[in-house]
Structure 1
Amino acid sequence: MFGIHDLALFVVSGLLLNMMPGPDTLLIMARSATQGWRAGCAAALGIGAGTMVHVTAAAVGLSALLSTSAMAFNAVKWVGAAYIAYVGIGMLRAKLKPEAEAGVRPAGSDPSLAATSYRRIFAQGFLSNVLNPKVALFFLAFVPQFISADSSSKALAFLILGCIFNFNSMLWCNGLAVFAAFASARLKVKPLVALWLNRITGGLFLALGARLALSEQH
């Protein structure tokens, strides 16, 4: 249908690719471990929204500009690297709530770290994904392999496959958010450990931002 072939292989390959660690995985796990599964899911939904921007742009040909124009690629790359570094710095600067510093266990499910709003977490997931030109190039390289050359509607086929990929991605990412929050609760992660987990993730984000800044167009 629509020139799509080897759909089962596409689904399996997409799931395996989603399981590979990267900035998205780090953000989801850090937010879930320090603020609970809702925060992790907020990050996951932001990432999914960013993915749909890439899918739509690739389907209408906008992402092709990134693969042919060094100027466009570098512009998006530097903005993306700067934002990822900004998120990393924010995590490095995270502080404990006063009651946690005093050794008082927070009541209910309140986190020991100063909480970040779900809206801001969603925006972090969205921007860290949508400002990464490597994601756009990935879709341009991966998805067309499952669309026949004689397809009568390549753009529609691309959109369908992109939506399938993103749906599977959301299953994995939201499952990861719930698992990370559950594991954190079961292990009874102490406030200071959660703080350093946040800071370590921030350091990794800085490294990923530098890696993106130094990446070349392929």
Structure 2
Amino acid sequence: MLDAHQYGAFLLAALVLAVLPGPGLLYVLARSLGGGRRDGVQSSFGTLVGGMFHVFASAAGLSTLILASSLAFSLVKYAGAAYLIYLGVRTLLSKERLSLDVNGGPRPNHAFRQGVITELLNPKTALFFLAFVPQFVNPEAGGVFWQFVLLGTTSVVLNTLADLLVAAFAGPLGSRLRLNARFQRGQRVASGGAMIALGTYAAVDR
């Protein structure tokens, strides 16, 4: 398995990458502003589950098969971009005020499920694990599969912690905005526009 020096070097590199704004973090920010802290937290854990799928898929070689085919890569890429744009358009077209349940919290709005799907359909996550993680794997130490899983899981957890920080700070702002009808319209435009822009960027970025 990995020695402490190798893992420490990976941890430092992964930490730096986790705090840099990326598609996952921007998605959580948009959801937090649109639905408050609860949506942000649910989206964060959703992207965690989706990210862990890529970890095990990459470790098993599944992602290699996807990335080896330009058609498969393009299909996954554009499906993910289209899904983000769909979420943004639906947010823009929504005119309903957020309802509260009997416990005073927002009704479930499938933020967790959307987070999972968004991350699952992000081929850049698979590409990241295949390009970055193997640099820290030591084949001579054996257990390459589990080395990959350990490093990938570390990266996903760090990304999720960054997402949760974004949700913690952006969520309360979104909650206050929802109390004002004018700001509700503004936040729908901002959140929907952000997701549409993110989906468009994912579609055209090479």
TM-score, with structure 2 as normaliser: 0.85
Describe the superposition over 1:8-45 as per-residue Cα deviations: whole angstroms up to 9, x where unpaired. Answer: 23222222222222332233223333433222110000
8 Å CA contact retained: 2:59, 2:149? yes
- Give the equivalent residue in structure 1 for 2:76: 76
Cα separation, 2, equivalents of 1:98 and 1:157? 45
Q: CA deviation at 1:151?
A: 3.5
* Number of corresponding residues: 206
* 1:167 and 2:146 aligned: no
- Give the equivalent residue in structure 1 for 2:198: 208
CA distance change for structure 1 residues 191 and 5 in 2, over 3 Å: closer, same or farther?
A: farther
* 1:180 and 2:160 aligned: no
Describe the superposition over 1:29-70 as per-residue Cα deviations: whole angstroms up to 9, x where unpaired. Answer: 233334332221100000000000110100000111232111
CA distance change for structure 1 residues 185 and 61 in 2, over 3 Å: closer, same or farther?
A: same
SS in 2 for 1:6: helix
Counterpart of 1:198 (choices 184, 188, 206) is 188
Opposite residue 170 of structure 1, the aligned amino acid is T
Cα separation, 2, equivalents of 1:5 and 1:61? 26
- Give the equivalent residue in structure 2 for 1:37: 37
Cα separation, 2, equivalents of 1:15 and 1:191? 39
CA distance change for structure 1 residues 186 and 84 in 2, over 3 Å: closer, same or farther?
A: closer
Opposite residue 58 of structure 1, the aligned amino acid is S
8 Å CA contact retained: 2:29, 2:170? yes
* 1:126 and 2:121 aligned: no
Report matched runs for 1:1-218 at 5 Å: 1-2=1-2, 6-97=6-97, 117-118=108-109, 120-184=110-174, 190-216=180-206
Opposite residue 85 of structure 1, the aligned amino acid is I
Opposite residue 78 of structure 1, the aligned amino acid is Y
8 Å CA contact retained: 1:59, 1:155? yes
Opposite residue 65 of structure 2, the aligned amino acid is L
Q: CA deviation at 1:193?
A: 2.4
8 Å CA contact retained: 2:37, 2:170? yes
Opposite residue 156 of structure 2, the aligned amino acid is N
Q: CA RMSD in A?
A: 2.9
Opposite residue 200 of structure 1, the aligned amino acid is A
Cα separation, 1, equivalents of 2:166 and 2:10? 21
CA distance change for structure 1 residues 188 and 92 in 2, over 3 Å: closer, same or farther?
A: closer
Q: Between Structure 1 and Structure 2, which shows a larger proportion of helix residues?
A: 2
Cα separation, 1, equivalents of 2:8 and 2:120? 27
